[in-house]
Structure 1
Amino acid sequence: MLKHQSLILSAHKAINDCLNNVPFVNVLRSETSPTDSGPDYILHIDTPLGRKAIYAEISANGQPRFARILIDKVRLLSDDSKTYWIFVAPFISEKTGKMLRSSGIGFVDLAGNCFISFSGLHIQKEGKKNPYLSRRQFNSLFKVKASRVLRVLLSDPSLHWKIAPLAKEAHVSVGHAYNVKEELLNREWAVVDNRGMKLSEPEILLHEWCNNYQLEDYRRASFYSLLEASRLEKHLEESCSALGVRYALSGFAGAARLAPFVRYHRVHCYVENNVNDLVKSLDLKLVTSGENVILINPPDDGVFYDTRRVDGVWMVSPIQVYLDLKVSSDRGEEAADFIYKEVIEPQWKRTKLQVTARE
């Protein structure tokens, strides 16, 4: 992220660049705010309809949470037709921009996006991507350790969590749980009160996780079995029990247990250890095509959170089934959407009603 002084200079330049592109607008002068409670600086401009003072609030973070601070601040101030507030940050997301526009506040970012609109002037440039966001930052909320926390939160979005119990439940450090909480709050996907934090936008969180869900680090192998799916799964359960191997079905095999009319011929299964012994026990043949068994050895045991036993075998949580279907072929995305609408969303609504009734 840009250093503070560098950010102020860059913000000043970005605003001037935005205004200088309009031939009938003259920037008269700029000055710092005379009070600590005021904006970071003020630009005085001349338009065909008269003079206007643009109050610029500069932030190193353009996430909705920080824009909300300015929105609340402006609401407390008396209405002044001669002033116009703008929010300036390295990058303004679509959600943040929408919030600001609906509150009558403009914005300018260092990527080239801007929105300044009042009587006599309308400037709008959007669609520029964030040049300051590294791949590491973009994926940080969906990395392996962080995803442990997401699984806990998404299993029941109606629950409030204090940091220590959340960290214990997710098997991560308190510091890691805190970082996830802060990122969720910054994006306004969660809220916090005296009871703790809870998700406010579980649907958006799950959607963004899907967009960033990757299986490259998962060791997986494809096999062929002469047994049909139901017999193979029964044999799988017996072999894993005998070998002491933790396993859980996912993909279409998991979906079929959540929505019984889902048809499948390929068994996807997470296996924690002893994969070679399990392959021998099941008499599986390693193949490069035509597989009907896929064994996946995950880099982290978070995939086993909230597993359940259905029809005599273990399966992953509905959230994990949804994620795996979303990135699979063979109409996986269609099946994932069905699982969300028929299983996950109704479950969230039921638990929310139960919590509301208790309150």
Structure 2
Amino acid sequence: MINSEDNSILVHIKHELGIRDNASISWGVQISEELPFRVDLVIEDDSKKYFIEISSRLTIDKIGRQLVLKNILRNTNSRNRSFEFIVASKLISPETEKIAHSCDIRIIALPYRSNVHENEKSDVRRIEKISSAKSWKIVIALLTENECSIRHIALKTNVSYAWTHATVKSLIAKGIVVEVNNYVKLQDIPKLLNGIAWERPFEKLYYNEVVLPENDALSAARTITRMCEWQDIKCGFTSFTAGGIYTKYGFRHDTAYVYISRDNLDPFLKSFDASDTHGIKIRVYKPDRDVFSDTRIAEGIRLVSPAQALLDLAGLGYSGRDLTLKLVENYARL
């Protein structure tokens, strides 16, 4: 973004577009009263209207904003007007420019000495992945509330309002959450689950596998729960094991899935006899966050929280989709 008083960038953009001197120029335009979406610069020239984002570096986020804007304006009553969507930037990589062109977004290269000031006006500021620990708390709050305000979610999750606002706006931009009259709610759960599967594939946390010579996965999980308590090892069963117990649906009887604290992974694995090849498979996972502080005991088995189990099941993609949806369905009762 630039200040309206800084005329050099405006002159450059007008020159690149071939704009007349008497064209209408508007800065920081809000697209509609219903949608809190602003554009850095709007230029109207004859029957054409240009929507322009201005930044120091061309990013996929900037391209994404323009795509969202195109979607917002798709069904407006301005059908006789020709719209063009533009990002003006100083730093432009060939790869990102190619992506912009494939999305029919025009790119204008600003002079290197242009004074572009990035500020906090962006509706969707750069945040971590939705699967990050803080953002996932917000997703879970949205899952358990029918409709609520962003402030209510921030208070419920004890996450800062700024972070909550950014996360929710990101979800809105992705079409996962809808906002009506300052209230937000989950709209597309399958799209949310697909995003988690792509962001955080659960099997990337896989560490090793051992075999416990028992005939039943529940019994094996109880044995391991007791063993970890005796040896002061943090553990938490997850994935199909936790999901099956929480929902009473789709339980895996041949395999148990467990997180073991990073410091105890190898000592835990050494507790098993490598010669055992018949029994219940114990798939061991290395945690990428705190999964132990909110574990709970169910049927004598230490389980990760429903929120963590849902995140891990979503990370399985389509192989765990049925159980994931069942956990979503039952989540409010857990």
TM norm. shorter chain > 0.5: yes
Amino acid at match of 2:101: A
- Which residue does the alignment assign to 1:213? 200
Consecutive unaligned residues in structure 1, runs of 5 or more: 17-26, 45-52, 91-108, 116-136, 352-359
- Which residue does the alignment assign to 2:322? 338
TM norm structure 2: 0.60
Change (3 A) 1:243 1:306: same
TM norm structure 1: 0.57
Q: Which of residues 202, 210, 214 in structure 2 aligns to 1:223?
A: 210
* Contact 2:153–2:164, Cα closer than 8 Å, also in 1: no
Count matched residues. 279
Query: Mapping of 1:57-206 within 5 angstroms?
Result: 57-59=51-53, 61=62, 62-63=64-65, 67=69, 71=73, 75=77, 81=80, 83-89=81-87, 110-114=100-104, 140-142=128-130, 144-153=132-141, 155-158=143-146, 160=148, 162-163=150-151, 166=154, 169=157, 172-192=159-179, 197-206=184-193
Which string of whole-angstrom CA distances, capped at 9 and with x for unpartnered residues, describes residues 240-289 of structure 1?
33445443212232243224453331211123466259727x932469x9
* Contact 2:53–2:87, Cα closer than 8 Å, also in 1: yes
CA–CA separation in structure 1 for the residues paired with 2:199 and 2:322 = 20
Query: Mapping of 1:279-294 within 5 angstroms?
Result: 279=268, 283-285=271-273, 292-294=281-283
Query: Mapping of 1:219-298 within 5 angstroms?
Result: 220-228=207-215, 229-257=217-245, 258-272=247-261, 275=264, 279=268, 283-285=271-273, 292-298=281-287
| Greater relative CO, 1 or 2 (CA 8 Å, sep 6+) | 2
Q: Which of residues 30, 35, 40 in structure 1 aligns to 2:42?
A: 40
Task: Measure how far apart 1:208 and its partner are.
Answer: 1.0
Change (3 A) 1:213 1:187: same
Query: Matched residues, percent identical?
Result: 15
Amino acid at match of 1:36: S
* Correspondence 1:314 to 2:332: no
